[in-house]
Structure 1
């Protein structure tokens, strides 16, 4: 009998004790918890994957638009960074599905949940950077380069706040693991 592991949304540190299930009001085995964690993670990934794939697809069509030729070197550079980030984000956020296919029926669900959890965290950072870069590009075209950089910095702060600082503050206030 193995000791329980933390939920996918917890840090990767081991739980403080075997009474974790009781503390959380759950009576499930480690296998049941890993199955639940992976299903929860896949639900989150469905939202992220769809948005990222649509954004990447849209960006890939822009060079074929008539006004694309009017972009300056700086804006073309931003565009290339945005495309590269969107492709990287898509690769990282789809990786848990690929990992599941490779690890399917190998009795490695705990490892699958852990690696998928880590990939999703990296994917969220990449998604925020992608969105900030796209915003920088759009604002740069509409208003100017300086305004684009300011908008991107505000977006990075916003994503960092609502995707990172707020959840960690809630967890800390609830007495969760640090």
Structure 2
């Protein structure tokens, strides 16, 4: 729907903004989201890098050392995905591809958040196994991962579905 001033109201948001304005708004929103996730992933990754240099690390069994390697790799992948929008922005700047930039960066942020959740889960499992030596570590970690799934996916999708049904 085009308004008298030439802007279009986006069908889902109802906002009166040009395609460029919409891309700028979405990019700004995405950057705010990335700042939160990126900082957390970088701090966690830095901590994980230091663990191997502690005396206790050599006392871990083979499974826990393997779990540590998996955790570090997941952390590196999360940091890579969550910082990728910066590289995309640098490459896309000046080419008038902001809507495509926002879509590509959004996809990478979703991947990065999933990798961050997996990193946190595997780090938590490693930590609880080292701290307690108990099989309960797996159950506790599973419960926390279910909480992440609930907070980061199930509840938002439930609210989205509720909002969409309210518009019908």
TM over 0.5: yes
- The alpha carbon displacement at 1:20 in A equals 2.8
User: What per-residue deviation string (whole Å, max 9, x for no partner) do you get for residues 24-66 of structure 1?
Assistant: 3522111001001001101110111111011111110111111
2:9 and 2:16 in contact (8 A); partners too: no
166-175 vs 148-157, which moves further = 148-157
User: Could you tell me how far apart the structure 2 residues matched to 1:113 and 1:129 are?
Assistant: 24
Pick one of 74, 77, 81 that aligns with 2:70. 81
Matched residues, number: 160
User: What per-residue deviation string (whole Å, max 9, x for no partner) do you get for residues 73-106 of structure 1?
Assistant: 1111111111000000000000111100011110
Does structure 1 residue 60 correspond to structure 2 residue 45?
no
137-146 vs 114-123, which moves further = 137-146
- The alpha carbon displacement at 1:163 in A equals 0.2
Q: How does 1:111-122 map to 2 (within 5 A)?
A: 111-122=100-111
Residue of structure 1 equivalent to 2:131 = 142
| TM-score for the superposition, normalised by structure 1 | 0.84
2:9 and 2:15 in contact (8 A); partners too: no
Q: How does 1:67-106 map to 2 (within 5 A)?
A: 67-106=56-95
Residue of structure 1 equivalent to 2:20 = 31
Q: Extract unaligned runs of 5+ from structure 1.
A: 3-17
User: What per-residue deviation string (whole Å, max 9, x for no partner) do you get for residues 130-176 of structure 1?
Assistant: 00000100110111252222122112211111000000000000017
RMSD of aligned residue pairs (Cα, Å):
1.9
DSSP 3-state at the match of 1:105 = coil
Change (3 A) 1:45 1:70: same
Q: Extract unaligned runs of 5+ from structure 2.
A: 3-7
TM superposition outliers: structure 1 runs of 4+ over 4 Å: none
